[in-house]
Amino acid sequence: MTKYAMLINLDTCVGCNACMAACAMENQTPVWNPAKFRTYVYDEEIEVGDKILRQFFPKLCNHCDNPPCVSVCPTGATWKEANGIVRVNPEICMGCQACAMACPYDARYGADRQDISHGEAYYGKDFLKRTVPSIDKCDFCYERLQEGLQPACVETCVAHSRIFGDLDNPDDLVTKVVATGKAQGLLAELGTGPNVYYMHKIPEDLL
């Protein structure tokens, strides 16, 4: 059985935002609204002692083992696949946004009618993937995976910050890194069981 996960190396991310662009074009997200991305890279300045560390922090859906978004959805529009990917079916989503309220990672946004009409002009009516308003989120580029490809953000990452893998494969690099305990999921204390892992080694001279 496959269990998809992503490893993000915060040390190597250069903040080029190519992942955001690739994701937006692949999944036709409403790029005209800065709050509506499936993945977003934050530019951070973190105070460590008397030093300031600048880092880029990519964020996306964590495809949780225990996803609160799935348990609140009243229509079954959001569900978890056997391979671990949490997906949304826009055809049955009524857009109550309870899933977005439940998500501790701010990984969901509502694509409304205005976004659909903007999308027709931006992406072309004949090529439009989204035709009904609904909640939207990262699905690890499910269609690309079906074709044996990597998620768009992973494939486009110039610094190899994003590594996609299968946690049920002991030989997978992601599995090996996660097993060392050097990578960490976000907000694990909430019991969500996130499957996006972050690793980061602070330069020794900053510590």
Number of residues this chain uses to bind other proteins (CB under 8 A): 58
Nearest to 10 by CA among 118, 160, 194: 160
User: Which lies closer to other proteins via its Cβ, residue 33 or residue 150?
Assistant: 33
| Binding of residue 76 to other proteins (CB under 8 A) | yes
Beta bridge mates, 127:
none
CA 131 to CA 119: how far, in whole Å? Answer: 9
- Examine residue 153 and tell whether it contacts other proteins (CB under 8 A): no
Binding-site string for other proteins from residue 117 to residue 146, where x marks contact by CB under 8 A and - marks none: ---------------xxxx-----------
CB of 199 to other proteins, least distance (A): 7
Contacts by 147-156, CB closer than 8 A, 24 or more apart: 151/6, 151/23, 152/19, 152/22, 152/23, 152/25, 152/26, 152/27, 153/19, 153/20, 153/22, 153/23, 153/39, 153/58, 153/60, 154/6, 154/19, 155/22, 156/18, 156/19, 156/21, 156/22
Name which position in 46, 121, 149, 173 contacts other proteins (CB under 8 A). 46
Site for other proteins contains 112 (CB under 8 A): yes
For other proteins, give the closer residue by CB, 2 or 12.
12
Contacts to other proteins by CB under 8 A: 10, 34-35, 40, 42-48, 53, 55, 57, 59, 68, 71-76, 92-98, 100-106, 110-113, 132-135, 181-182, 184, 186-187, 190-192, 198-202, 207
